[in-house]
Amino acid sequence: MKQAVIVIVFLMLFGGGVFAQFPQTERQKRRMEQSIKASEDRENEGRLVSEARLPVPRPAVMNVDVQMALSKAEYKTFAEAKAAEAKKIVDGDPLWLYIKFKSKLGDYVLTTRHPDDPEKLRYTLFAEMAPRGDITALSQYSIRFAKDDLAMTEVRINLAPGMFGRNRSIPVFLMTSGAAKTGVWNNEFRLTNNTSVPRALTDNLAATPVTLDFSTGPAKYQKMDSEYDSMILRGTTDVAKMPVAGSFFSERISTLLTAKLAADNILPLKTYFSGDDWEEVAAFGVQMRKSRRVFATFTYRRGEGCFYGVAEVTEEFEFLTGKFREADVKLRKDLPIPCAEA
């Protein structure tokens, strides 16, 4: 590969006269430049692979090496939650997920390269709600862990009503319960590091049954579902409080947001992202849908007043190409704030 690049560079350095005398060969020059760039990219990818081989998750016996429990109250340990395990949920119950690893979290996560930055690694587990005994799923959420998390032996996550903070809550339960019909539903909560859907019922790290008794409907969970975004952005349903800044940043998304705001005649005073990464979810019905989203906050003046708004940036996944489509940006704006906060 390096020899090919050297030959191309040689032609460009010593073949300048040819390119100058024959303008039609400019296309060839551009193609050579593109070839050099492609060769460099391939070499860089090869270097990344050779320097950091991606670890493979440790084989696990379901519900033995990894265990789960659902509880209606918050406990300090998995053992306490297991002793008070919830098997039947009624509309509006608070709900917590507890996970215990026989060794440590890092042994079971799926390690992949970040799609937007191949030099960064991602550590993921997939949480699902599914009909009991069915190989399909109703909803799925990708739980992203930081490298510092990998030594943990237990994980505690709120499922309802939602909490502020990285991985303190996930929306997968409310996605399902908020969209449920009136009735009693025998479901199960699953945890896996396998990206395949559907897959064998035993091809999970853990699974625990749960009955959803929505005999009078899921109105309370529907309300929690509608308020979930506010809870994870600002820790409250009160939109008078601005969202908290996170560590996520994307120049590409920032450019899209600037263009969207300009189209709405908004000149932002400041902008920032909330959260630390894309929030990635999948829904399974007649047609499988997968998407990721991130939130950004912006402040601005209008007349004598000051306001803030929240941009929800969503990218739908295209299964045919294996890539996310162009982002869709939706704005919620004109939320008044003191000018000192703008």
Q: What is the pLDDT of residues 272-305, one digit of tens each?
A: 999 999 999 999 877 889 999 999 999 999 999 9
> Which band of pLDDT confidence, cut at 50, 70 and 90, is reported for residue 155?
very high
The pLDDT of residue 5 is above 60: no
Residues in the chain: 342
At residue 52, the pLDDT reads 60
Tokens of 71: 């509880």
The set of residues, in sequence order, having a beta carbon less than 8 Å from that of 292 and lying 6+ positions away, is 278, 279, 280, 281, 314, 315, 317, 324
List the beta strands (DSSP E) in the chain: 66-71, 88-90, 95-101, 110-114, 117-131, 139-145, 154-160, 183-192, 206-214, 270-283, 289-302, 305-318, 323-324, 328-336
Residue 14: what pLDDT?
Answer: 39
| CA pair distance 229, 226, nearest whole angstrom | 7
Dist. CA 63–CA 79, nearest whole Å: 14
What residues does 99 pair with on adjacent strands? 68, 155
pTM of the model: 0.83
Cβ count within 10 A of residue 216: 10
Residue 152 carries which side chain, given as an amino acid letter? Answer: M
- Written as one string, the DSSP assignment of 120-152 is EEEEEEEEEEEETT-SS-SEEEEEEE-GGGGG-
Indicate the residue type of 70.
Answer: L
List helix spans (H) across 178-269: 219-234, 251-263
Residue 9's pLDDT band, with cuts at 50, 70 and 90, is very low
Quote the pLDDT of residue 285: 77
Per-residue model confidence (pLDDT) at position 87: 95
CB of 335 within 8 A of CB of 308? yes
Q: What tokens appear for 36 in the block? A: 């050099």
